[in-house]
């Protein structure tokens, strides 16, 4: 039986376990990346491990999230990360050099390599044939130290592409179509491999848009073949020597095959407040638009920006619309300026923002009250834009640019001929904004620079046989990490200060939760389906840990978040019968006993001391996860 592309890379990097779906495996990581919203914690954790220098082929620290300097906090974090990178053998991508995933694709991504990043959209690297995973900072810290990355061996979905995209239809529409088919939880437990004759019609940046959005499916990762299109992209970046061919075997077996005819797709939108709430542009043409944001790690490549510039050229945006454009990297911005496309964008009335994540994480450019904002981003969770009642739609660059001109959601196919663009055969190469680390001899004298906002990690607890605590919060389905630990310009500067950050925990759901949890001392949270979807931010586990949360019981968990809970020493359990979710109420006193034995049996019992009801729970973990919980989380386990 042949192997899929992902299985070939897994086989070449397998450290422990067998390639049997559902079993835990350990993989050697070739590369790591961090960004500054999660990076400070990741490097504090790496320091705690005590290894003097990273043991990967390549590790890069990017500054792309917290780039608004409204106080000393962000600047201090950046200074800390830069000093850690210099001392410990990590390359440092300076603020303004670009968004981690865009820059990594341009300058560092290699087909056939493994990559782990402290950002959930690290699977963007799958567009170039990497096996790339988003993870919590602790997992990245361990990988930097030479440790393996543990996952459950995924099943395989193949998406078979035929045909070719029609004018005004783009890779973003492919992403939205697969979200329409699978939903935000339909990819959980799977690697999604894109194949078929239609793949050859898609450029590497287009493929990266699709693998980027695979994160919203809950998939472990997504991957494209490495072919002549990949070779041409790497050659244009001056890196043809990094090319290897990668394809699945003809007799590879997939657990599910999905067929998508690119020729039949039309411009789509994800409506508020979920990436899988899909409708067509033609259905929504009556909706007035207040704001348009173009950029993010999903759609900020040179190809995307040239297309936007061509649509805007010689025109002016509607008087009622505010338009921002954020190129994905310094390379993209410079090449836009050199060819005149940047002037076309500016002349239209757009505001050009820094090469950074910016509005995607609520870092500036929030919409007006209840404003309709069309964004070429990957998430439209409630409140993520920085405006609690903002109505955010996810769209392609084409739909975004046309809406900025008309003032309404508009099917771009009504705009006449699709403007042609010409991609350069060679990209501008200037890596001066990527600082190299000190060599090993010099690194001894490098001082780590810590600001006053950088606080120690919260202490984790070894699992006890009994947990008796109140149910301090009960939430519904599809609770995201943005619900648990919001982003935004007011909060992100405190990512390295867990005590202060705790004030905002679950504020989107219940502003009183933080104080209530502190008063309780120890507590339990109950959630619904797909609890913890979205970002890889481990703060969504570390902050509840700080607030005394000892266990989370849910109908089901998102992959990265359940790993982060275990890493933090918080016990994640699921209802044996999902309807038992209705048998607990916020404020109930709950008790679980015999938990040490439950780790072996896989079964636990939750007693609702308030009502007298007993509820069966599932308590199934790998041996390594059991040991981590008994030790008090990943760092204590690693230290042992």
| Catalytic residue chosen out of the listed positions 64, 77, 482, 580 | 64
Q: Provide DSSP, 171-213.
A: HHHHHHHHHHHH-TTTTBTEEEEEESGGGGGS-HHHHHHHHHH
Q: Is 535 a catalytic residue?
A: yes
Q: HEC string of 256-310? A: EEEEEEHHHCCCEEECCCCCCCEEEHHHHCCCECCEEEECCCCCCCHHHHHHHHH
Given the residues 88, 101, 379, 539, the one annotated as active site? 379
Query: Which residues, in sequence order, are bridge partners of residue 32?
Result: 59, 116
Question: Are 99 and 530 contacting, i.e. CB atoms less than 8 angstroms apart?
Answer: no
Catalytic residue among 303, 537, 550, 561: 537
Q: Which of 36, 77, 119, 139 is catalytic?
A: 119
Look-up: residue for tokens 């009642």? 389
Does the annotation count 537 as an active-site position?
yes
Closest of 202, 209, 270 to residue 232, by C-alpha = 202
Write down the catalytic residue from 170, 535, 536, 556: 535
The CA distance from 407 to 308, in Å, is 16
Residue (of 24, 73, 59) closest to 452 by Cα position: 73
Residue 387 Cα distances to 353, 371, 391, angstroms: 19, 9, 9
Say if residue 94 is exposed, middle or buried (CB neighbours under 10 Å; 0-12, 13-18, 19+). Answer: middle
Bridge partner list, 152: 24
93 is catalytic: no
CB atoms within 10 A of CB 431: 17
Q: Catalytic: 413? A: no
Which position among 13, 65, 91, 559 bears the catalytic label? 65
Numbers of helices and strands, H then E, in the chain? 21, 27
d(CA 499, CA 130): 37
389 noted as active-site residue:
no
Instruction: Tell me the C-alpha distance between 196 and 614, whole Å.
Output: 51
For residue 301, CA distances in Å to 77, 175, 604 come to: 27, 16, 49
Catalytic, 101? Answer no
Nearest by Cα to 128 from 96, 150, 148, 102: 102
Catalytic positions: 64-65, 119, 379, 535, 537
């Amino acid at each position: 039986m042949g192997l899929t592309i992902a299985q070939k890379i897994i086989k070449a990097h397998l450290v422990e376990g067998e390639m049997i779906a559902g079993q835990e495996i350990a993989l050697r990581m070739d590369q790591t990346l961090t960004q500054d919203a999660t990076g400070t914690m990741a490097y504090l954790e790496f320091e705690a491990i005590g290894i003097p220098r990273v043991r990967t082929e390549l590790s890069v620290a990017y500054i792309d999230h917290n780039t608004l300097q409204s106080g000393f906090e962000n600047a201090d974090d950046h200074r800390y990360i830069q000093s850690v990178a210099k001392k410990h053998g990590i390359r440092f991508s300076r603020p303004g050099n670009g968004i981690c995933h865009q820059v990594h694709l341009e300058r560092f991504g290699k087909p056939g390599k493994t990559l782990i990043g402290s950002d959930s959209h690290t699977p963007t690297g799958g567009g170039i044939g990497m096996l790339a995973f988003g993870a919590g900072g602790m997992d990245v810290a361990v990988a930097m130290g030479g440790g393996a990355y543990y996952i459950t061996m995924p099943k395989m979905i193949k998406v078979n592409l035929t045909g070719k995209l029609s004018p005004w239809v783009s890779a973003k529409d492919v992403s939205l179509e697969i979200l329409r088919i699978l939903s935000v939880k339909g990819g959980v437990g799977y690697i999604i491999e894109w194949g078929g004759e239609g793949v050859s019609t898609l450029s590497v940046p287009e493929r990266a848009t699709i693998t980027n959005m695979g994160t919203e499916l809950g998939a472990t990762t997504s991957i494209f073949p490495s072919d002549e299109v990949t070779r041409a992209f790497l050659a244009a970046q001056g890196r043809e020597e990094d090319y290897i061919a990668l394809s699945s075997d003809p007799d590879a077996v997939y657990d599910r095959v999905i067929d998508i005819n690119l020729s039949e797709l039309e411009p789509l939108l994800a409506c508020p407040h979920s990436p899988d709430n899909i409708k067509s542009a033609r259905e929504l043409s009556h909706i007035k638009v207040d704001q348009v944001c173009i950029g993010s790690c999903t759609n900020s490549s040179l190809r995307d920006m040239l297309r936007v510039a061509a649509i805007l050229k010689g025109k002016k945006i509607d008087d009622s619309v505010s338009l921002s454009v954020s190129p994905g990297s310094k390379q993209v911005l410079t090449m836009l300026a050199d060819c005149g496309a940047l002037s076309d964008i500016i002349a239209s009335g757009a505001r050009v923002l820094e090469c950074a994540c910016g509005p995607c994480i609520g870092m500036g450019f929030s919409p007006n009250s209840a404003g309709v904002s069309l964004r070429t981003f990957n998430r439209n969770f409630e409140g993520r834009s920085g405006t609690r009642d903002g109505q955010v739609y996810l769209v392609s660059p084409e739909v975004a640019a046309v809406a900025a001109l008309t003032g309404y959601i508009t099917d771009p196919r009504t705009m006449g001929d699709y403007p042609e663009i010409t991609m350069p055969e060679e990209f501008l190469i200037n890596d001066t904004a990527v600082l190299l680390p000190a060599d090993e001899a010099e690194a001894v004298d490098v001082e780590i620079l810590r600001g006053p906002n950088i606080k120690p990690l919260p202490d984790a607890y070894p699992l006890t046989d009994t947990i008796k605590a109140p149910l301090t919060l009960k939430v519904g389905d599809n609770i995201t990490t943005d619900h648990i630990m919001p982003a935004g310009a007011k909060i992100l500067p405190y990512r390295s200060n867990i005590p202060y950050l705790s004030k905002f925990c679950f504020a989107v759901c219940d502003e009183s939760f933080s104080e209530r949890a502190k008063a309780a001392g120890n507590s339990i949270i109950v959630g619904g389906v797909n609890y913890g979807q979205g970002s890889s931010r481990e703060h969504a586990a570390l902050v509840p840990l700080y607030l005394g949360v000892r266990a989370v019981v849910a109908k089901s968990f998102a992959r990265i978040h359940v790993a982060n809970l275990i890493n933090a020493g918080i016990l994640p359990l699921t209802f044996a019968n999902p309807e038992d979710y209705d048998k607990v109420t916020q404020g109930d006193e709950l008790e679980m006993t015999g938990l040490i034995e439950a780790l072996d049996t896989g079964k636990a019992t939750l007693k609702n001391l308030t009502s007298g009801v007993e509820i069966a729970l599932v308590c199934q973990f790998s041996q390594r996860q059991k040991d981590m919980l008994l030790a008090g989380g990943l760092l204590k386990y690693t230290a042992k």
